[in-house]
A = this chain, B = another copy of it.
Amino acid sequence: MLEPLLPMLLKKTIVLASESPRRVEILKKVGLKFKAVPSKFEENLDKAAFKHPYEYAKATAKGKALDVFKSYSENTENCDEIPDVIIAADTVVTLDDTIYGKPEDDKDAFEMLTRFSGRTQTVYTGVCIIYNQADNCSTDNKGADQINTFHDATDVTFSTMTSDVIQGYIDTGEPMGKAGGYGIQGIGGSLVESIHGDYYNVMGFPLNHFCRHLQEYLQNQTIA
């Protein structure tokens, strides 16, 4: 969707505040050139403090983006050295009002997947985009006034899974490091009967929503 905008986008410095191989893969897919920089933001916000899981995901994404923004702005007096666009995302899985992050160990993954068996869960990805506004740039304000957040939701329905199937899947090693203990883009895809929403949102980044947001933003104003 971004093809008509690529000539403009390729002139911008873009940073993905994440080293998640899945997010890197999704953003590369649409032809964006960017640098992946890990955020040091601790993902430990109080889940109970948020009315809705997507608010938690958006706040965590914002924390990641701001952390990377600060690491740039604190190390320079020159606005031009701050990336034009910083992108961050956070994905959570929810079922019965519980938010599931990455499993702690195989036992935890087994419990999560057992709960998901034959059920429909919702995956939320919160996204935060910081646009560095050179026009607004000063020592006091290095341009982080353009902070946009949004989220996307996708329902994921699992097949009914026996313990053997769940254990067999855990033994592949795939569940660790993934929200909800599965990777829809990997072997985990065979466990999923149906989804409703954006597939890439389940993988960790709502590609279509992101492209539409960028399109709208660029049509309304010129980024520095």
Contact = CB atoms under 8 A, between A and B. Distances in A.
Contacts of A192: 198-199, 208
A184 interface: yes
A192 to B, nearest CB: 6
A189 to B, nearest CB: 6
A172 B2 CA distance: 11
Given A1-B190, A193-B198, 18 more contacts: A1-B159, A2-B190, A3-B187, A4-B168, A6-B168, A30-B190, A31-B187, A189-B199, A189-B207, A189-B208, A190-B211, A191-B208, A192-B199, A193-B208, A194-B196, A194-B198, A195-B196, A199-B199
23 contacts: A1-B159, A1-B165, A1-B191, A3-B164, A3-B165, A3-B187, A4-B164, A4-B168, A29-B189, A29-B190, A30-B187, A30-B190, A31-B187, A159-B208, A184-B199, A190-B208, A190-B211, A192-B199, A193-B198, A194-B198, A195-B195, A195-B197, A195-B198
